[in-house]
Structure 1
């Protein structure tokens, strides 16, 4: 399939596909007339990349997942390198949650000091 069809089927722009190619995440074969050609495996790679980006991974984070799929594994997350990225991302998210909880407590304390009796929890909780 050509780049336009891959873009349509994957739900991304042709520009994004060219960028993924530039970053080494996908590789186009060239037809005799120079058009980029892709197959179903490329569609699978793009779907994996998009799924990872959607939940906050970077393109650099996607590299081991793509490599895992290219190696013939059923999923991009089944290789040790991918698992390590999952674990690192979970640790980052946990740290972000801790930071947000501290900030929330500080803001709630400021609100309580400025407005005694005002609810500081979700939808009227104190």
Structure 2
């Protein structure tokens, strides 16, 4: 299995119930669309890297994609998230068939996340099955 990667930016509000309205406030358009026809609009603003580049590209490509999408709106995102009732996070997800592994984030990407003022969530999912503990001894 080839590892899959995704980086999602989510910005929500306790008062605004439309992702499109949040996008207008920060000057970006969400690329997350409802999966079903006729589904209600999303209540949060979401950018999903795997909607625009292959999930099988290296994780660093997904980091660079997010920087490219948001670098001109960093200040507006930070300003919005500093207001009461707004929250934001970046999900970094890796799905792998290995039992363990590692990845690196550049200081450029980390600094960009800090400038935006978002929380960071990590999701590393292993589809390796159960490890045979006895064979490791």
Structure 1-normalised TM-score?
0.25
Determine which structure has the larger strand proportion and give its number. Answer: 2
Determine which structure has the larger helix proportion and give its number. Answer: 1
Using CA pairs under 8 Å that are at least 6 residues apart, name the structure with larger relative contact order, 1 or 2: 2
Structure 2-normalised TM-score?
0.23
Query: Which of the pair has more CA radius of gyration?
Result: 1
